[in-house]
Chain A
């Protein structure tokens, strides 16, 4: 029996309810919602209410409705208030559509009244007496600062390892990336740092930037005015839901064809067929890792057929052969189209062999992208890509191969064009220069596993669930942090100085002092010695931009839970304590570097960081721009409105690489088979490809969803999609728990029969709290430390019959049928 809410009516917001802007903090699309709050003892009526409509009438499809998940009761200025977070029909991003993630924002708020999200942290905690004990901010921050100050002055800043998010949305935003950025890149020059989802501090898309093309240069409306949509290694119906439903769909309804390059048939392919008709959808179900080969063949076909946009190429791209040479830190040379074709040339026949698809279908894709129309007009094409190639084989050259097609066909900087990543989180990056980190950046996981680093500051990252080679990482991290726990236990009851001496002694002996900043107790946080309690968007004001650079202010409508704080103010607290601790150590000059954090609010941090570089932008102006915000970069303020930029590169001048000539470069994307170490041997040795992916129902690593009954009822365990015949081979029935194991480690999941999965191909949901796919991902990375999470092979065996919670759920096809 499925989860029943047993709710048969909800409070109605009164006409005078407070209304605030909310950009959904979950995925990169950032749908607009309105937060209604009103006093506990007030309510509207069926005919007199905040929506101004007659609620005694059944609303039509797309009508205004508060689903139970959109309601909660939260604290606002210390008082309990009703909260309803409902989709904004006026927001151009979603026009009233919701997602299964965004429509649960209200119920995923912490509430002492309704009991939701009681896992949220209320106070800092410090390791004492064999467990994590709540404490004051002063106590926790002092310990962090004293230990950090001792270690970096006795050794160097290289002894401090920092894992920190770099994104917008819930735990990110311009406020918080600036707070951490100023602390670690300005007050300090920390180079041993990594980002939440990869083992180094680096771009996910170096090549497109090196080619001059920023990865987010279009606007979502471009999908509505294009002739062809090409998606590579992405599943936008699940992971950028309302981009697909409100923009790609409109494009297809306007006549656009849809190409999907992905080994797996997804619900996005099925939905595209429903919308556009099967005859207008081309799914190139390539072999794993062969994306570059198929895109090179498409480019070759376009070049050989003379379908290139020569006017654009001549005016806006580099003409002189090689511009950047390949070397150990440069995975491919860059230069003119002619030069790039010397290595990127791939015949249809060769690509068909490598990719396992028909040559005619590859030719059809090329024609759909670039064959001129009957009247001679050029076709427009938007290309979109995400983790299938970002976390795929040969990241640099593969992303480059995709951007090559867009540049060769003049589909950058023009209406109905673009070659953009689809993204995961919203963005919100504003930090001092990271040039000191270097390129290639340090492989941080390898550093930690091999005993490097003495202190680990972690900001809203849970590598237990979301890194590669995770089995080895967890063992090392736990062993090293346990050394410090033991030292702290032995120092219990002593003085502060004795405690700090004990910690410093332990880290000098190979231990790791761990500080975890998060909104919940995460899995890696169990290794922490200090936990700092953060809040997230709408418990604070927070600015981010979405996947079309749409900047909005998502407003604070409730209090932070307990004594939790915005990350930027936690960073400020660390800095202020560092300044004091360093002075006590006699390091006055160093201490002076930690001045400039006298922020009272997140707005102060925003003004100190983002607004210093974008002086037209203020909270008040953003608030007035509402849920439609402004497309970055902001270029002015006139007549009470911020002036933005509809799309980048409309002048045909490319700047992301910093070249003064403004010419875009092509990538010499020569196919070289499996790029990352160990992949080819692993494929040969193990029976099943264990791909990983996302599901629309979960946000990120389920950090809030793990405490959401509706979600956990549907998937009590991470699912593994598997062909039914493969299930027969291993003796597994739907819902049975199976173990995937290889030379890297092992993990487990609940098997989900999937007719559309090819024999030998499986897919496990990524980032689950009860089964980390990263355990079996090998440590292989590319030249710039980008991991290849997607290519993992393992053997699979049944370990248990379906547990009771798994017996009750549906194992039917996820594909809609008309």
Chain B
């Protein structure tokens, strides 16, 4: 991701590895259930993946993440001002997929006006307005990851508001 402000690569890779392991565990649970002919749950079971800690985040400095598995890149941002859907003590932490829900291009973050921008076909999404498409070709807003903050400030992703580009199920 061509974020204008990047977190260090080492931490990003570490987190991505963690996400992969959790997704693998979730997938094997589903497969096991199917083999035993147990009825599938009506809703997708999302992994609970640790993305980082509140202390890792600086205002408007996006952190690369992956969720719900390593093939689904995303971004975690502390905006500095409370937004609807924001979590944390300041209500300002949000996370989104960075694959454009139009045709799956990897998007850029514009820290100046806090939008995700797609170089594929020029769509853009407002991370301060729940990932609403400001202008573009997508037919859903940007998938926003459901976040939970633990007592020690760890940030977990545990769901997605919309279907992530390029997959028939958010958890494969």
Contacts and interface: CB of A to CB of B under 8 A. Distances in A.
Interface of A: 1-10, 12, 46, 55-63, 65-70, 97-100, 103-104, 107, 237, 241, 245, 267, 270-271, 274, 696, 710, 713-714, 808-810, 812-818
B163 A9 contact: yes
B168 A46 contact: yes
Contact of A100 (B72, B136, B167, B171): B136
A772 B170 CA distance: 41
A376 to B, nearest CB: 37
Contacts of A816: 117-118, 122-124, 135
Question: What 7 A-B pairs have minimum CB-CB distances, sorted nearest first?
Answer: A2-B132, A59-B166, A9-B169, A69-B139, A814-B135, A2-B130, A58-B71
B104 A61 contact: yes
Contacts of A63: 104, 166
A148 to B, nearest CB: 42
B48 interface: no
A438 to B, nearest CB: 43
A56 B122 contact: no
Contacts of A810: 126, 128-129, 132, 134
Interface residues of B, number: 57
- Main SS at interface, chain B: loop
Contacts of B121: 97, 245
Nearest to A61: B104
Contact of B117 (A2, A7, A66, A818): A818
A62 B137 CA distance: 13
Contact of A710 (B137, B140, B161, B165): B140
B21 to A, nearest CB: 17
A808 B113 CA distance: 17
Nearest to B115: A812
Contacts of A274: 122
Contacts of A237: 122
A809 B132 contact: yes
Contacts of B103: 61-62, 65, 97-98
Nearest to A100: B137
Contacts of B171: 8-9
Contacts of A55: 167-168
Given A61-B120, A67-B101, A817-B113, A98 B137 contact: yes
B146 to A, nearest CB: 10
Contact of A818 (B84, B119, B160, B168): B119
Nearest to B161: A4
B33 to A, nearest CB: 15
B113 A813 contact: yes
Contacts, number: 163
A808 B84 CA distance: 9
Contacts of A812: 113, 115, 124, 126, 134
Instruction: Determine which residue in B115, B133, B140 has the highest number of CB atoms from chain A within 10 A of its CB, and name it.
Output: B140
B140 A8 contact: no
A813 B110 CA distance: 12
A241 B120 CA distance: 13
14 contacts: A1-B84, A2-B131, A5-B163, A9-B163, A61-B100, A61-B104, A63-B104, A65-B165, A67-B165, A68-B163, A241-B137, A271-B122, A810-B129, A815-B124
Nearest to A103: B139
Contacts of A245: 121
A717 to B, nearest CB: 15
B118 to A, nearest CB: 7
Interface in B67-106: 71-72, 84-85, 99-106
Nearest to A67: B139
Contacts of B141: 2-4, 710
B102 A10 contact: no
Given A5-B161, A61-B120, A818-B117, A267 B172 contact: no
Contacts of B118: 816
Given A1-B130, A9-B44, A714-B132, A59 B104 contact: yes
A9 B104 contact: no
B166 A9 contact: no
Contacts of B172: 46, 56-58
B3 interface: no
Interface in B129-157: 129-141, 144
B60 interface: no
Instruction: Determine which residue in A57, A61, A98, A103 has the highest number of CB atoms from chain B within 10 A of its CB, and name it.
Output: A61
A84 B99 CA distance: 21
Given A46-B172, A61-B104, A68-B140, A817 B117 contact: yes
Nearest to B83: A1
Instruction: Determine which residue in B121, B161, B169 has the highest number of CB atoms from chain A within 10 A of its CB, and name it.
Output: B121
Given A2-B130, A100-B139, A714-B133, A61 B106 contact: yes
A10 B136 contact: no
A721 to B, nearest CB: 12
Instruction: Determine which residue in A2, A63, A245, A713 has the highest number of CB atoms from chain B within 10 A of its CB, and name it.
Output: A2
A103 B102 CA distance: 9
Contacts of A57: 71, 172
B145 to A, nearest CB: 12
Contacts of B138: 67, 100
A213 to B, nearest CB: 32
A248 B140 CA distance: 26
A7 B163 contact: yes
B152 to A, nearest CB: 28
A62 B162 CA distance: 18
Given A8-B44, A12-B168, A818-B108, 13 more contacts: A46-B168, A65-B104, A67-B101, A67-B140, A67-B165, A68-B140, A98-B103, A100-B137, A107-B139, A245-B121, A809-B132, A816-B117, A817-B112
Contacts of B166: 58-60, 63, 65
A65 B100 CA distance: 12
A4 B110 CA distance: 23
B116 to A, nearest CB: 10
A61 B105 contact: yes
A816 B125 CA distance: 10
A387 B45 CA distance: 50
B43 interface: yes
Contacts of B123: 816
Nearest to B27: A56
